[in-house]
Every structure is written in C-alpha cells, then in structure tokens.
Amino acid sequence: MTTTTMTLKKSSGWAAAALALVLLQGCASGPRSNPGDPLESFNRSMFSFNEGLDRTVLKPVATVYRDVTPSPVRTGITNFFENISDIRSFFNNVLQAKPVDAADTFFRVTVNTFWGLGGLLDMASEMKIPKHSEDFGQTLGTWGVAPGAYVVLPLFGPSTMRDTAGMVVDSQGNLVSYAENVPVRNSLTGLRLVDTRANLLNAGNILDQAALDKYAFTRDAYLQRRQSLIGGDAQDRPAAPEERYDLPEGASTTGNSAAPAPKLP
C-alpha cells in the first residue's frame, strides 16, 4: 500500500510520463485499430496493465475494506473526500462562468466543513444544496479545447489528452497533497484510493458480466459521459441522464457527477 500511495502522491509525474509514452507511441495501429482511437494499441496494453493491478491488489484490498468497515464510517470517509473535491469544483465553476453553481458549491464547502465535522457529514445535501462537480478538463472543454486522442493512463485509467492536462492542474488543488506529515499524507491518499475503489465494486462487477470487450465498453462510456458533462463537444449530442455508482449504500446521490464505467482518480 505504501508504494501505491506514494505513486498517487506523484499524480502529476504519472500524467507527464503517460503523455511521454503516448507521444512515443504516435498514432499506433493494429488489427483492431479504431479511427476514433488512434492510440488503441498502446491503450489496450495499458488497460490490461491496469486490469492486472486492480485484480491482484486494488480490488482485494477494497473488498476487505468494504466488508470490515461499517457503512456509516465509509459514508463519512466518502463525504470527507467529496468535500475536498468540492473545493476544486468551486474554482472550476468560477472559471466556467457559472455563478449560481459556484455559489452553491461555495455554500456546500462552508456548510459541510463547519457544520459537517470537516466534511464527514453531508449536511449540504440534507439542506438541498445541489452538488456541481467540475474539473479542469471540463473547464478546458467549456473554453473550446478539443478532447484530443483517447488515452488510458497507468493507474488512473480512461482519459483524453485534454483531461490529462486538466488532471495535472487539478492535482495542484488537492489539499491532501499539502499535508506536511508524510505518513499522514500517504495514508490519506491510500484511503482515498481504496474508498473510491470500494464504492465502485458493484459497478465493476456489472461491467465484468455485461461487456464482451471491456476496453471498448469503458472507452465509449467514458467518452460519452465526458461529452454529456461538457455539453456535447463538436458532435453536440444531448446530455444523457446520469447515475451515481461511486457512493456506498445509504449515501446521498445528490449531484450531477456519474461513473457509468469504473475510473480511478
């Protein structure tokens, strides 16, 4: 777990390394090459690597975590990290010129931080303050930046060139990474990873049973979801209804973020 948490702490380095690998790969082609997925050969190899890592390490640890940790405790942990993510969402709502969403997000952070025991309790959802999850990849899309090639990042999973750049920027606003106590920082990073994976266990099981080609299914689901969140991109497709798979049972589903296919942060 220590190795995994240290890896997550260096998320910017991972993203940069992935970009370098993508550039070295160029427009890879193969027998299953998809014109809309020019990096498919590289992506499938990275997808297999992530699948193996998940199967042997992340999923077993997340399963134990889910089984031994009481649901209210897991809900509180999820709420805590969601509250930190709302800080990122606030700045991205501002950058996207969404004053109402930014105000809602500001009040969510304020209420949950001061009245919700540092975010352990989602008091904002109880008060019907809507959640508006945004990241810098969405901000770039709102500004008109094209998504670029689809790419699978090591550990982090599905992304695009635009979303990878956004991930690097968003990582600078992760408050956990600024903790001066290294063991505490690594423990929180590892806890966030395990908690996120535990919340996706059911979705992962459904994917295993439903998809004949898990790579293609995950790719298409990710691209469609991102397109709907940003507002259609060049193809101007209507936004699809979203469901939440990333919260444990009993947790609030207020909000507009979704994960039709598993993706690790």
Question: Which amino acid belongs to residue 240?
Answer: A
Structure tokens at 96: 């996207």
Calculated CA dihedral for residues 114, 171, 54, 1, nearest 10 degrees: -70
Tell me what percent of the residues of the chain surpass a pLDDT of 70. 74
Confidence band, pLDDT 50/70/90 cuts, at residue 173: confident
Structure tokens at 100: 């109402």
Q: What are phi and psi for residue 261, nearest 5 degrees? A: -135, 145
Q: What is the pLDDT of residue 211?
A: 64
User: To 5 degrees, how large is the angle CA 195–CA 264–CA 143?
Assistant: 125
List, for residues 157-171, the tens digit of each pLDDT value: 999 999 999 999 998
Helix or strand holding residue 152 (H, E): strand 150-153
In the Cβ-directed half-sphere of 37, how many Cα atoms lie within 13 Å? 22
- Model pTM? 0.73
Domain residue spans of the chain: 2-235
d(CA 70, CA 241) in angstroms, rounded, equals 30
The rounded Cα 204 to chain-centroid distance in angstroms is 14
Structure tokens at 257: 């973020």
